[in-house]
Amino acid sequence: MNQVVLPKIICIGAQKAGTSWLHETLLQNPAVWSPPFKELHFFDYKFIPDSRKWAKWHVRSNVKKNLEKEFWWSESVGYEDYLRSLLREPILNGNWYKNAFSIMPHDCVGMDVTPEYCQLSDEGIEFLVRFLEKPKIIYIIRDPIDRALSQIRMNLTRNKLRSGDMGVWRKLSKEPVIWQRGNYAEYIPRWDKNISEDNILYIPFGRISQEPHTLLCEIEKFLGIQSHKYEGVEKKVFSGKEAYIPDDVKTDIKANMEIQYEFLKNRFGKEFVRRV
């Protein structure tokens, strides 16, 4: 087993804000390495109680999917043992996280893309910075309303609910997780306080579709990694299914998101907000 080098690239969100695009795209760069599935949930499992309800399931499910892939045997010697080691308890403690990066080549930079990290407390952020020795943080910020609507559509599809039932829409729109994942006004000040300006990059979501190549060059410079010619950057990753959302639900969400727009405008300026 290689001497473990922990990740230096952490993407913290928000959910439904292009983190899958960033993960899939940066992995094209031979300088970047990630464990075999996105979202490790190590830090949120440790500091966010709600994550403890499902994070282990997420890990086990994704490891088993990798074991079921037909090409797993074509990977390096010991790859199957590595995957199975990620299923052994205790899962999601510090040694498990180190093990997740134990097969990373020494000439690569490790990456952990887990949107839930954006919700970490001050204590959680301080621990992350110490544990990873001052990593580079990327925070993608999407329009608060669009992000919430996208998450509601995803939850509707994921739970196989009826889109014609107004009661279903109201229940989904009022779930605390809808507001928690996009609560920029609460979360961003924590990261500002605990991360130096040189080590965190805030990206307006709209730049992914408007100027992906320029954005990727800026990300490479921020991360200090070699430049690469990326392919398929104009394509969406895990594009959600469209579903009609009742106007009443949109109105309720809009009213509740005013505080987020005001915060983003004051923190980043109107031009940044225009591009989220």
CATH of the domain at 233: 3.40.50.300
pLDDT-based confidence at 266, cuts 50/70/90? Answer: very high
Q: Are 194 and 118 a contacting pair, CB within 8 Å?
A: no
266 within some domain: no
69 within some domain: yes
Render pLDDT for 230-239 as a digit per residue (tens, 0 to 9). Answer: 999 998 776 5
Instruction: Identify the residue whose tokens are 């498990």.
Output: 96
Taking the C-alpha atoms of residue 124 and residue 39, their distance in angstroms, rounded to an integer, is: 17
Asked if residue 1 has pLDDT above 50, the reply is no
250 within some domain: no
177 within some domain: no
Over residues 198-205, the mean pLDDT reads 97
Asked if residue 83 has pLDDT above 60, the reply is yes
Asked if residue 72 has pLDDT above 60, the reply is no
Q: Would you state the pLDDT for residue 162?
A: 59
Distance, C-alpha 118 to centroid of its chain: 8
More confident residue, 240 or 247: 247
What is the chain's mean pLDDT, rounded? 90
Q: Based on the structure, what is the number of domains in the chain?
A: 1
Asked if residue 95 has pLDDT above 80, the reply is yes
17 within some domain: yes
Taking the C-alpha atoms of residue 55 and residue 270, their distance in angstroms, rounded to an integer, is: 37
114 within some domain: yes
Asked if residue 2 has pLDDT above 70, the reply is no
Q: Would you state the pLDDT for residue 15?
A: 81
273 within some domain: no
Over residues 197-221, the mean pLDDT reads 97
Residue 50: domain span: 9-143+185-240
195 within some domain: yes
Asked if residue 134 has pLDDT above 70, the reply is yes
Lowest mean per-residue pLDDT among 1-5, 109-113, 182-186, 194-198: 1-5
pLDDT-based confidence at 58, cuts 50/70/90? Answer: very high
Q: What is the pTM of this model?
A: 0.89
Taking the C-alpha atoms of residue 173 and residue 152, their distance in angstroms, rounded to an integer, is: 7
